Amino acid sequence: MNNREPYPETCFDSIPDIAMVWYQDHSEGFSLEEAIANNPDTHILITTLMDWSAANLQKLPKLELIITITTGTDYIDKAYCQQHNIKVLNTPGFTGASVAEYAVALMLAAAKRLMDYNHKVRTGDFQIFEHQGIELFGSQVGIIGMGTIGSQVARMLQGFGMNIVYCNRKPKESNLAQPVDLETLLSTSDIIFLTLSLNADSHHLLNHNTFAKVKPGAILISISPDDLIEFSALQEALSSGRLSYAGMDIHHEDSRFLTLPNTVLTPRRAWYTQAAFERRIQIFTQTLGDYMKAQ
């Protein structure tokens, strides 16, 4: 069941002994309720970012496995799955360098005010003095979350001659950047990258209290789930100038984001390259094949 970018319906042809039913529609006509109602005998569900709460999962009483085509699984009620012996598998590592490259692109767009200049030029204004960018060389970058993507970002930013610090949930050695605590990172960094996944500990990690510690005029770049950031706190930080700009690859169709000043917003497409798309298919197909072989 997939309401996003479509996948080739031949990708599981090499896996024997399965009867596949495809529900793929990225238009507003997609109905998860209808897809569930028409497939009550589903044993294996391959899906993406949708409402997989207990209320929907209980309508699939024969379900034994969920394969998400995403890395994150926070939209699935894992407590319900555990209680009902439903295995949940994700699709890790498919993004390669794509997300890190995108995060750096958001940084460049924000730091150099590219969206502002683009808008002005398209309206015939070539005398632009109110939007001044920043020089990246010698600036400090703080990366919150030094996992695979955070490490790739750090490696790319070394080429800009930037001073790189990071904080991580768990102690982690890195020859790419200097470890610091979160408060130090926020108060000293000119550009802050948020590259964490969402869990109970990271929910609203950036809130009114943490934004108050941010270096005035800093830039925020986020390729993390929206719920790591408290919206009202972000709104206040941008409006007050505590943050000078933000570049965000956002999850939700939340119209409030459209009212935010000084932002570059994109529709959760940081991963969306041909190479990552093909890797994703390969990984979730292999995951299903391995599961079937083990049965």
Nearest to 265 by CA among 285, 237, 245: 245
Element (DSSP H or E) covering residue 266: strand 263-266
If you average pLDDT over every residue of the chain, what do you get?
A: 93
CATH of the domain at 280: 3.40.50.720
- Is it the case that residue 31 has pLDDT exceeding 80? yes
Q: Is 185 within 8 Å of 210 (Cβ atoms)?
A: no
* pLDDT score recorded for residue 234: 95
Lookup result for tokens 């970018």:
5
In this structure, the answer to whether residues 106 and 166 fall within a common structural domain is yes
* pLDDT score recorded for residue 60: 97
Q: Does the residue 156 lie in any domain?
A: yes
Q: Buried b / exposed e across 204-239, counting CB within 10 Å, b at 16+?
A: ebbbeebbeebbeebbbbbbbbbebbbeebbeebbe
In this structure, the answer to whether residues 202 and 136 fall within a common structural domain is yes
Cα–Cα distance for residue pair 222/204, rounded to 1 Å: 13
In this structure, the answer to whether residues 86 and 38 fall within a common structural domain is yes
In this structure, the answer to whether residues 260 and 190 fall within a common structural domain is yes
Q: What order of strands is seen across the sheet that includes strand 44-47?
A: 44-47, 65-68, 87-89
In this structure, the answer to whether residues 85 and 146 fall within a common structural domain is no
Question: 174 vs 144, which has greater pLDDT?
Answer: 144
Q: Does the residue 19 lie in any domain?
A: no
In this structure, the answer to whether residues 70 and 167 fall within a common structural domain is no
In this structure, the answer to whether residues 105 and 137 fall within a common structural domain is yes
In this structure, the answer to whether residues 134 and 53 fall within a common structural domain is no
Q: Does the residue 25 lie in any domain?
A: no
Cα–Cα distance for residue pair 115/162, rounded to 1 Å: 23
Q: Does the residue 5 lie in any domain?
A: no
| pLDDT tens string 58-89 | 999 999 999 999 988 989 999 999 999 999 99
| pLDDT tens string 209-255 | 999 999 999 999 999 989 999 999 999 999 999 999 999 998 766 77
Residue 83: domain span: 32-94+274-294
276: left (phi over 0), alpha (psi -120 to 50) or beta: alpha
- Is it the case that residue 8 has pLDDT exceeding 80? yes
Q: Does the residue 142 lie in any domain?
A: yes
Q: How many domains does the chain have?
A: 2
Cα–Cα distance for residue pair 293/176, rounded to 1 Å: 41
Widest pairwise Cα distance in the chain: 68
* pLDDT score recorded for residue 259: 81
Q: Does the residue 111 lie in any domain?
A: yes
In this structure, the answer to whether residues 181 and 115 fall within a common structural domain is yes
161: left (phi over 0), alpha (psi -120 to 50) or beta: left
Q: Does the residue 22 lie in any domain?
A: no
pTM of the predicted model as reported, rounded to 2 decimal places: 0.87
